[in-house]
Amino acid sequence: MRKVLIGGTGITPFGKFMDTAVRPLAERAVSDALKDAMVETDDVDMVFFGNAAGGLLNGQECVRGQVALRNSGLLGKPIVNVENACASSSSAFHLAHMAVAAGRAEVALAIGAEKMSNEDRSKPIKALEAAADLDELEALKARISPDGAGTGSVFMDLYSSVARDYMETTGATVEDFARVSVKQRHAGALNPIAQFRTDVDLDEVLTSRMIAEPITLMMCSSIGDGAAALVVMSEQAAARREILPVEILACEMRSGQGDDAKTPPVATAASRAAFEAAGVGPEDLSVVELHDAAAPAEFILSEQLGLCAPGEAVALLRSGRTSLGGAMPINPSGGLISKGHPIGATGAAQLVELADQLRGRAGARQAEGARIGLAENGGGWIGHDAAAAVVTILGATTRH
């Protein structure tokens, strides 16, 4: 397997754009990524298009990538449509990486795009429910909301249940979860593409509307619209261009085994494989983007990824190490909580942030001297675990 690089990135603002469809979002992200990589459409060998819920949200099935890219100049290329819940675009990136690493492509394009805002607010909720096994959906709802009083959002009820278990096990408090949101909102306030760009304090988070005890509104990610794209290329292709690429040290995907309590969580399995492939460990990381669909997820995933010992995630947050200016900032983009969560675009957006950090162009969010970054992107739910996880490790390079 040969060395593979990210040559360019593109990302749209994230937000609720009621009058904007998937196509213009995808076109903007792709155009910016190609320009950043000094690549023309004729240079692209393969395209992998990540979208999670277009069929349920707007009725477009089967050929979502071909439709979204119809006016981009990419038709005629192999276009592979990738659907893997919230891990759709990181899965698309995984495939692009494999295509270039195996020598089947010199330049591949990984795209994530999602249009979730809808006049019918029940549609996004139903689309997210479809990321669980529908045969067990009622049993899942009964398990995570034993009194039967669910919120109507199965994933927020799920995070609520997980948060309560984590509090009982570790002694974490609601205030600790709120501190995650304060940290994320501060980073998002400095990110020009973030959906929420205002600093908040602890009291504002704690007194925002209760969604699912103990999770308040400001502890939750928000649905939205957006797109992100990455140009993946061989070392030889990068060397022919005056660009500053980022090396893909590892990209590992695993599916969850939530029916078997003896297996490690899927995020742990994917991260262990990624660390082994990259030849680095958690202690080497400069910056991390992880899947904080709700504030408690930062604590749980920090432990599952080996960023700290079990039960030590709250202490890690309180140390300041994971804040902007710390030795290993977590979610300097603002994370899903602040940047927003257009589900099919989220994984690619994490990688855009890491690439910016490793190229020293993250502005006020910049992690000083960032050399190695990790992204974890989860998706769906099966049994007692996420259905999928992709962990990618990137490394800084010198200019080609």
Whole-number Cα distances in Å, 356 to 8, 96, 134, 246, 272: 10, 19, 38, 9, 24
* pLDDT at res. 146: 65
Residue 265, domain CATH: 3.40.47.10
CA torsion sign for 231, 275, 81, 355 is: negative
CB count, 10 Å around CB of 216? Answer: 22
- Once rounded to an integer, what is the mean pLDDT over residues 384-395? 97
Q: Which residues are catalytic?
A: 86, 341
Q: Is residue 89 one of the residues assigned to a domain?
A: yes
- Once rounded to an integer, what is the mean pLDDT over residues 164-168? 95
Beta-bridge mates of residue 246: 6, 396
Distance between CA 65 and CA 253 in Å, rounded? 22
- Domain hosting 36: range is 4-120+223-394
Of 196, 31, 6, 15, the residue nearest 116 (C-alpha): 15
Q: Is residue 357 one of the residues assigned to a domain?
A: yes
Choice among 39-53, 139-153, 197-211, 284-298 with the minimum mean pLDDT: 139-153
Choice among 144-148, 227-231, 271-275 with the minimum mean pLDDT: 144-148
Share of the chain above pLDDT 70, in %: 98
β-strands 388-396, 372-379 pairing: antiparallel
Q: What's the 3-state SS for the chain?
A: CCCEEEEEEEECCCECCCCCCHHHHHHHHHHHHHHHCCCCHHHCCEEEEECCCHHHHHCCCCCHHHHHCCCCCCECECEEEECECECHHHHHHHHHHHHHHCCCCCEEEEEEEEECCCCCCHHHHHHHHCCECHHHHHHHHHHHCCCCCCCCCHHHHHHHHHHHHHHHHHCCCHHHHHHHHHHHHHHHHCCCCCCCCCCCCHHHHHHCCEEECCEEHHHECCCCEEEEEEEEEEHHHHHCCCCCCEEEEEEEEEECCCCCCCCCCHHHHHHHHHHHHHCCCHHHCCEEECCCCECHHHHHHHHHCCCCCCCCHHHHHHCCCCCCCCCCCECCCCHHHHHCCCHHHHHHHHHHHHHHHHCCCCHHHCCCCCCEEEEEEEECEECCECCEEEEEEEEECCCC
Residue reference for tokens 């449509």: 81
Distance between CA 32 and CA 198 in Å, rounded? 26
Q: Which two tokens stand for residue 107?
A: 């330049």
* pLDDT at res. 340: 96
Confidence category of residue 79, pLDDT binned at 50, 70, 90: very high
Distance between CA 373 and CA 355 in Å, rounded? 8
CA torsion sign for 134, 67, 343, 107 is: positive
Q: Is residue 134 one of the residues assigned to a domain?
A: no
pLDDT (tens digit, 9 = 90+) per residue, 253-281? 999 999 998 999 999 999 999 999 999 99
- Mean pLDDT, all residues of the chain: 95
Q: Is residue 169 one of the residues assigned to a domain?
A: no
pLDDT (tens digit, 9 = 90+) per residue, 302-318? 999 999 999 999 999 99
pTM (two decimals): 0.97
* pLDDT at res. 48: 99
- In this predicted structure, the answer to whether residue 242 has a pLDDT above a threshold of 60 is yes
Q: Is residue 16 one of the residues assigned to a domain?
A: yes
Q: Is residue 367 one of the residues assigned to a domain?
A: yes
Query: What's the structural domain count of the chain?
Result: 1
Half-sphere exposure at residue 290, Cβ-oriented, CA atoms within 13 angstroms: 27
Residue 38, sorted as left (phi over 0), alpha (psi -120 to 50) or beta, turns out to be left
Of 227, 222, 271, the residue nearest 249 (C-alpha): 271
Q: Is residue 275 one of the residues assigned to a domain?
A: yes
Q: Is residue 158 one of the residues assigned to a domain?
A: no
